[in-house]
Amino acid sequence: MKIVQYAQRGPNPSEFIGAVDVATPTPGEGQVLLQVLAAPINPSDVLTLTGQYGMLPPLPAVGGNEGVGKVVAHGPGVTAPPIGQTVLLPVGSGTWVTHMLADAKKLMPLPNEADPLQLAMMTVNPPTALLMLTEFVTLQAGEWVIQNAANSGVGEYLVQLAKIRGLKTVNIVRRESAIDAVKSAGGDVVLVDGPGLAKRVAEATGDAKIRLAIDAVGGEATNRLSSCLTEGGTLVNYGMMSGQDSVVSPRSFVFKNVTLRGFWLAFWFRNATPQQQMAVFGEIGKLIATGKLKTRVHATYDVADIKQAVAAAAAGERDGKILVVPKD
């Protein structure tokens, strides 16, 4: 089998990573051997490789934090999940591999007939979008939510989840070429970020009172989102794609009573009960299996081509996600 390993971190995320041949393990008591079907490369993975993410595994490390696999062998005492069953890979388990061992009792079965590429992306971005949409402000059908980085993986899921809930979305992107993709995903209003954003948003929404804003960019983009919120609104930040700290004018805090919050999925995993996690992933899994929730795939790469895959994932302009898909 092959695993993707790195022993150093640096500014070039693909520099120190590579595929290594190792012996395929035999499952022990209570374990199963999984054949990995697909595993995405997320922005958090790229930041982990550069050393800029908020939580870094000890070195040497195996890359990848989510994905799906198929049960191919049982260890002693295991009868389920059955051979051939598609399952969600354990979070943070080093998923850029061809095979891996897992505790059978902790695996979540997934529909075998569903697209494995879409299922592979369900652990990080969809729950991030769902939880930011539902945990901070209780929105009613017909209300608006505004987000930037709307053409990102999280952004595209948020558009779809909002529409399922009867919400309307204002979607801010950083380049004209991203507009069509967000509109195709169901975005109600799509605007390019920049000066006069609050005025343009008000014109496009009929002066809607927007109570929730979601920011992945940081820097002055955070301030432009806050200016679009109504009095008492909440702005949730979950990233800094600009590489800059978030900036919010005192006018938003003092005169509009805007609240700035942060969201990190790792904290939610740490505090959520197994029942809460099952409820979130159960909802997401059903939506993906029925085709109601999906995101674009830019390209897939074999494990052996991990350097090219990481370089592609780190590139600025992509039309969708990069996934590691091991060849049979």
Closest-CA residue to 70 (of 104, 98, 36, 103)? 36
* H or E, element range at 8: none
How sure is the predictor about 110, in pLDDT bands with cuts at 50, 70 and 90? Answer: very high
Q: Write the CB contacts of 274 (distance below 8 Å, at least 6 apart in sequence).
A: none
Question: Is residue 50 scored above 70 in pLDDT?
Answer: yes
pLDDT value at position 319?
A: 78
Q: What is the mean pLDDT of residues 262-278?
A: 92
pLDDT value at position 276?
A: 93
Q: Of residues 6, 53, 238, 301, which has the active-site annotation?
A: 53
Model confidence pLDDT, tens digit, residues 124-139 = 999 999 999 999 999 9
Model confidence pLDDT, tens digit, residues 155-214 = 999 999 999 999 999 999 999 999 999 999 999 999 999 999 999 999 999 999 999 999
3-state secondary structure of 40: strand
Residue 157 annotated to the active site: no
Distance in angstroms (rounded) separating the CA atoms of residues 104 and 264:
28
Residue ranges of domains in the chain, CATH in brackets: 2-121+296-324 (3.90.180.10), 125-266 (3.40.50.720)
User: How many Å separate Cα 269 from the centre of its chain?
Assistant: 14
Q: Which residue has the higher pLDDT, 52 or 235?
A: 235
How sure is the predictor about 274, in pLDDT bands with cuts at 50, 70 and 90? Answer: confident
Burial class (CB in 10 A: 0-12, 13-18, 19+), 29: exposed
Q: What is the mean pLDDT of residues 77-105?
A: 96
Q: Write the CB contacts of 276 (distance below 8 Å, at least 6 apart in sequence).
A: none
How sure is the predictor about 278, in pLDDT bands with cuts at 50, 70 and 90? Answer: confident
Closest-CA residue to 321 (of 125, 54, 69)? 125
pTM above 0.95, yes or no: no
Preceding peptide of 250 cis, ω within 30°: no
pLDDT value at position 315?
A: 87
How sure is the predictor about 328, in pLDDT bands with cuts at 50, 70 and 90? Answer: low
Distance in angstroms (rounded) separating the CA atoms of residues 71 and 60:
27
Distance in angstroms (rounded) separating the CA atoms of residues 97 and 123:
17
Q: What is the mean pLDDT of residues 278-292?
A: 91
The pLDDT mean for the chain works out to 95
Distance in angstroms (rounded) separating the CA atoms of residues 119 and 202:
37
